[in-house]
A = this chain, B = another copy of it.
Amino acid sequence: MDMHELTRELKVPSDSKIVLLVADGLGDLPLEPGGKTPLETAATPNLDELAVRGILGGSIPVKPGITPGSGPGHLGLFGYDPLTYRIGRGALEATGIGFHLTDRDVAVRGNFCTLDAAGKISDRRAGRIATEKSAPLAERLREVKIPGIEVFVEPVKEHRFVAVFRGDGLGGHVEDTDPQATGVPPLKPKAANAESQRTAEVAADFVSQACKLLADEKQANGLTLRGFARKPDLPSYEEVYGLKAAAIAVYPMYKGLARLVGMDIVGQAQTLGEQIDVLQQEWNNFDFFFIHFKYTDSTGEDGNFDSKVKRIEELDAVIPRVTGLDPTVLIVTGDHSTPALLKSHSWHPVPMVLVSKVCRTDRCTSFGENEAIAGGLGQFEAKYLMPLALANAGRLTKFGA
């Protein structure tokens, strides 16, 4: 059952306001069995106060044991079943750098590579060429001209770039041209269905012209294309929930994910404090606010337990500014766990607290991983968070008489 079938049917108007504060990668592990996680270590008087007033649970991003990327992690929190709505890699990469995809676009990830005299790949990542060197090369590829097609090329990092082909009749199903091996030439773009034949031709033309433009670049004289994808077709927050939604994020990836579900991107905040400023300024203009805090994830990725503790305390400090606005429903959680011990995303359920006047408070008295799994919501798939938020906000009517 797609929960959107229910929320579409049952949604009712309301003046209530919902705030979803996502601390990216919030969940973690103790450094030693029996120890405390960063969230349990941090001094979080304000989050603990939410735990007292709210209901806790462990949010499973996708399914037990499944570690999500940022795309599925956020789609789950936004209430879009990440197993139903899969964002193609090209589209996610374009979204991640803030490229606004349209319905006529096919996006693809490009890798610069090194080709030998025979045109065979000698280095699949062009020696991990520095970004300062690769970015001008990516920009040079904008000179490619294909009749009837607009071509966009954007640098990403090191050997990576994004290409977007905009035109009519471009299907998104073309096979990767990366042979995943050296000593062989890149593969030809090959359509995986009839609708994508034109895309394969466009891609082949692009590669051909690009290789000429790069011919004199010894380190990066070739390229491969991976993850062809059209813009994912996600119904909007307005349509499935009846919510006018705003996203307050610093990084392009999260603005992009929010834009895909129809949120307005508001403000130009660069710090958490500025994000809360934007929340205050926009308070009367929206029903729903998604606030994204990146640094609980990046410190986890860095394996820096202590820095993650500090970032959590930074988050805790702004909570009174949020509660001061008196949201009908306030949720604090993460899109996935990023344990400092693992230096990567993980599958562990993410602590979640939901506060509303009708949430049915549980016995939890602090906000942390162990406390959360004993909470009133137990463990649940992230995709159920939005229906719960809507219910607590008085935005869902009764199912059946």
Residues of A within 8 A of B (CB): 1, 3, 6, 10, 29-30, 33-34, 52-53, 58, 62-73, 82-83, 86-87, 89, 92-93, 339, 341-342, 344-348, 357-358, 360-363, 369-370, 373-374, 376-380, 384, 386-392, 396-401
Contacts and interface: CB of A to CB of B under 8 A. Distances in A.
A341 B370 contact: no
B358 A63 contact: no
B384 A65 contact: yes
A401 B92 contact: yes
Given A65-B387, A370-B376, A378-B379, A86 B400 contact: yes
27 contacts: A1-B63, A30-B361, A34-B52, A64-B377, A64-B380, A64-B387, A64-B388, A65-B386, A65-B387, A65-B390, A67-B396, A68-B398, A69-B399, A70-B400, A72-B400, A82-B399, A86-B400, A87-B400, A93-B401, A344-B398, A345-B398, A346-B391, A363-B370, A370-B376, A373-B378, A377-B379, A379-B380
State the majority secondary structure of interface residues on A: loop
A29 B392 CA distance: 13
Contacts of A361: 30, 33-34
A67 B392 CA distance: 11
Contacts of A67: 391, 396-399
Contacts of A369: 360
B65 A391 contact: yes
Nearest to A6: B66
A6 B360 contact: no
A303 to B, nearest CB: 13
A82 to B, nearest CB: 7
A64 B33 contact: no
Contact of A53 (B33, B93, B341, B391): B33
A384 B63 contact: yes
